[in-house]
A and B are shown apart, each in its own frame.
Chain A
Amino acid sequence: MSIAVESVKEIAAVPSFTVTLFVRRFDPEKDEEPKWQDFDVTVFGTDRVLDALHKIKWELDGSLTFRRSCAHGVCGSDAMRINGRNRLACKTLIKDLDITQPIYVEPIKGLKVEKDLVVDMNPFYQAYRDVKPFLIASDKPTAERIQSPEDRARFEDTTKCILCAACTTSCPVFWTDNQYFGPAAIVNAHRFIFDSRDEAAEVRLDILNDKEGVWRCRTTFNCTEACPRGIEVTKAIAEVKQAVLRGRR
């Protein structure tokens, strides 16, 4: 298997090269303020930013702290700000960045930094839970419910959310007002508001008609650009706004 690794690297036709990473560090037990620290690492053409962070942690400085798990863009652990843009470190190939310049890696914005790239996600999760992100139906089915492919397609896009917070923490409104539900919570409300099996759309629309709800969105599209799952976040928010005004159909 080790041979396979080498060959893929050759196919990619990108030999190893050295990049400089500037990583935003903060140790709550030692530091008053966050600071930048730079590391030079040798990487390959198929390496992602996550691989570079692992190299630093495993070879240079074991105290570098970040969350990660699946390493291929489905678990949502490693959203961070890379060269000023929110991305998943495991989905960002280093060769796709401008490697003649240092790569800047910092925590996502608007949530309290706990240590290095780790932020307190609890306010984010709370906003998600506050929109009632679960199916509410009064029927007690004994078999599968029937749902047409068209009805199913109506909310397909927003089922893809992995709760990585890349969208919410790219939103300028969220940066200045932490009370705002934020794009991810609205996306997860959308997923149920437009599910034909659900009966509580009005309840969620009431929640999002609040002053910290959908009307805070100023349609900057940062969220859509940031979403690593390709969800049309801004469009989903717009659909929820429409539903508040005219009902969900």
Chain B
Amino acid sequence: MSEVKVHHYQYDVVIVGAGGAGMRAAIEAGPHLKTAVISKLFPTRSHTGAAQGGMAAALANVEEDNWEWHTFDTVKGGDYLVDQDAAEILAKESVQAVIDLENMGLPFNRTPDGKIDQRRFGGHTRDHGKAPVRRSCYAADRTGHMILQTLYQNCVKLGIEFYNEFYVLDLVMNTVDGVERPAAVVAYELATGELHVFQGKSIVFATGGFGKIFKTTSNAHTLTGDGVGIIYRKGLPLEDMEFYQFHPTGLAGLGILLSEAARGEGAILRNASGERFMERYAPTIKDLAPRDMVARAMANEVREGRGAGPHKDYVLLDLTHLEPAVIDAKLPDITEFARTYLGVEPYTEPVPVFPTAHYAMGGIPTNIKAEVLRDNTTVVPGLYAAGECACVSVHGANRLGTNSLLDINVFGKRAGIYAVEYAKDAQFVDVPQDAIAETVKLIEHMRNATGTEKIAVIRKELQDTMDKNAQVYRTEESLNEALDKIKELRKRYEHIQVQDRGLRFNTDLLEAIELGFLLDLAEVLAYTARERRESRGGHFREDFETRNDEKFMVHSMAYKDGEDIKIGWKPVTITNYPPMERKY
């Protein structure tokens, strides 16, 4: 066995992940304290760049709006599982978050009088549900691309230090005065195979989602939930993992996202007979109902035989009544996706669509200062999380479109501010002598893995079972089937085969390690989904079709307990909005 080369660094603030949340945090931290950003990818490859439709903020640039309506919509959209103090912050700080980005140079679309333009999006309404409101600030249908570019540009301007294509594999904790605190992260450098230990006073996780546990997904290949998985393996809880969003309009069969902005601009969902079926499911706001309701409605149309296509297994997104000039100006990218990948011309033909795994509402539990929690209330001092990997919880049981680009900006900024506040007075936590022993063992095990099980086969079987058993519709039986399958795959994972034995750019080894995190997170999702015997937001149980506030008006908290999962429950913070039935 070759001796692994190890490098050591000290930074006041260490940020893991260079997507929107990580870079927004870096922009706050960098000017004040020595800051490093560690990323699996070059920053502008992060999946924030794939977000399309916009970022919600009650600017009221084009019609009356205010942050209180936005708070209400967020709470109701999340089927009342949202922590209302956090939703208030999200909505209140949204205006400044958009102004920050504009001031940094983000090229928003403009109104005729030069203000930031705004458009409609699902679940965002005026005056508590009366009608759709124009709240989404946007840049064509590449708002996420513009946010990611603008944040990276500003990191370049500020001289932020990046460690790109460094894959964080472990979080090192140590106990100081009886309190467990983060000491460092251990990263594997893809180019060389060497290890790097980043000691940090504050450590921020901004590692994104884990859509690759599903087969049909809008998520990038690299979204394997490594950060969330590391936290879980440390024995820290994960919150609300059963709540996973399926975006209604993925390109049928491919899962590539077509923004809700299409419907915001007037596109209509139709079934095989051309009926605008959302009129039956959400009479007031129809196609602009929240994503969970639209996704279920689509799946239901297909189940009841009203799907389009030769196998009646998708529905149609109709943009043909929109002016080509409007499509070109406001939806250029998504219409190009339809042309490139399905050969469909959206000017004249409806586009085949079906729900696609899109966004994790759950994740690493934090408070409103982005501090990570070790149980329902206790903070892990010096550890922060923001963005999709985190659960504040502003999205509850279902996230509204345009609230995630907002989330990464509001809570990414907060994570940066509070990480600095903490690190200013903190001492480094000692890194134990054997801190990297586990990581070295894992890498050497993988590099020399000579089993017979192929990574891609196990991953595909995992994704198949998750699509089949833990998607839009779930039952006790389907979730048990998923859990049994995952157990079997875990055993097989022990006999995995890695063919590349090299040190340099060993992506074979990387995929083997990523698969381990996918298995962990899929299991937690299926387990918590089984234990939540009710239907709420994105989690729909056919055997428990209604919301049960008496028993389940609580967040789930899943802990790793040896080879098992232990589940706890955490109260929801309610300020102004008592739970009501969710109708649109």
Task: A61 to B499: give the CA distance in the assembly, Å.
Answer: 7
Task: Determine if A46 and B342 form an interchain contact, defined as CB atoms under 8 angstroms apart.
Answer: yes
Interface size class of B (residues with CB under 8 A): 35 or more
- Min Cβ gap B497→A in Å is 8
Task: Give the complex CA separation of A90 and B217 in angstroms.
Answer: 15
How far, in whole Å, are A142 and B42 apart by their CA atoms in the complex?
32
* Cα separation A76 to B504 with both chains bound (whole Å): 22
Whether A46 contacts B341 in the complex (CB less than 8 A), given A10-B310, A135-B105, comes out as yes
B-chain residues with CB within 8 Å of residue A73 when the two chains form the complex: 337, 340
Q: Which residues of B contact A70 (CB under 8 A)?
A: 45, 47, 49-50, 220-221
Within 8 A of A (CB), among B311-333: 311, 313-314, 333
Distance to closest chain A CB from B218 (angstroms): 9
Q: Which residues of B contact A71 (CB under 8 A)?
A: 220-221
Known: A74-B145, A91-B340, A121-B42. A65 touches B505 (CB 8 A): yes
Q: Which residues of B contact A145 (CB under 8 A)?
A: 102-103
Decide if A37 is an interface residue (CB 8 Å cutoff). Answer: no
Interfacial chain B residues near A152, Cβ < 8 Å: 107-110
Q: Which of B47, B107, B254, B455 contacts A58 (CB 8 A)?
A: B455
Any chain A CB within 8 A of the CB of B285? Answer: no
B-facing residues in A81-131 (Cβ within 8 Å): 91, 93, 114-116, 118, 121, 125, 129
Whether B461 sits at the interface, judged by CB under 8 Å, is: no
Residue of A63, A93, A115, A159 near B107 (CB, 8 A) is A159
Q: How far is the CB of B424 from chain A (nearest CB, A)?
A: 25
Q: Is the interface of A mostly helix, strand, loop or mixed?
A: loop
Q: Is the CB of B505 within 8 A of A58?
A: no
A197 within 8 A of B: yes
Q: Which of A134, A147, A198 contacts B157 (CB 8 A)?
A: A134
Which residues of chain B are within 8 angstroms of A245 by Cβ–Cβ distance? Answer: none
Say whether B99 contacts A143, CB under 8 Å: yes
The residue that B45 contacts in the complex, of A10, A75, A141, A156, with Cβ under 8 A, is A75
- Cβ B508 vs Cβ A57 within 8 A: yes
Instruction: Check A144 for interface membership: any CB of B closer than 8 A.
Output: yes
Specify the chain A residue showing the minimal Cβ separation from B341: A46
Kindly specify which of A1-9, A168-176, A216-224 makes contact with the partner chain: A1-9
A207 close to chain B: CB less than 8 A: no
Q: Say if the beta carbon of A239 comes within 8 Å of chain B.
A: no
Query: Could you count the A-B residue pairs with CB atoms below 8 Å apart for me: how many are there?
Result: 194
Q: Which of B105, B107, B342, B498 contacts A134 (CB 8 A)?
A: B105
Nearest-neighbour CB distance to chain A for B346, whole angstroms, equals: 16
| B154 CB–A CB distance under 8 Å | yes
Q: Is B440 an interface position by the 8 A CB rule? A: no
* Residue A138 interfacial (CB < 8 Å): no
**In this complex, what residue of A is CB-closest to B145?**
A74
Query: Which of B112, B139, B142, B342 is within 8 Å of A149, CB to CB?
Result: B112
Q: Are B49 and A114 in contact (CB under 8 A)?
A: no
Q: Is A75's CB under 8 angstroms from B220's CB?
A: yes
Q: With the chains together, A114 CA to B29 CA distance in Å?
A: 33
CA distance in complex: A31, B500 (Å): 14
CA distance A70 to B28 in the complex (A): 27
Chain B residues with CB below 8 A from A8, complex form:
252-254, 342, 352
> Could you list 6 examples of A-B contacts with CB < 8 Å?
A1-B467, A4-B216, A8-B352, A11-B309, A142-B99, A151-B114
Give 5 closest A-B pairs by Cβ, nearest first: A135-B105, A58-B456, A62-B499, A8-B253, A146-B114
Task: Write the residues of chain B forming the contact surface with A, with a CB cutoff of 8 angstroms.
Answer: 41-42, 44-47, 49-50, 59, 98-99, 102-105, 107-116, 139, 142, 145-146, 149, 153-154, 156-157, 191, 215-216, 220-222, 252-254, 256-257, 309-311, 313-314, 333, 337, 340-343, 352, 354, 454-456, 464, 467-468, 471, 497-500, 502-508
What 9 additional pairs, Cβ within 8 angstroms, besides A73-B337, A75-B41, A121-B42? A8-B352, A11-B352, A71-B221, A74-B145, A114-B504, A133-B156, A144-B116, A155-B107, A192-B105
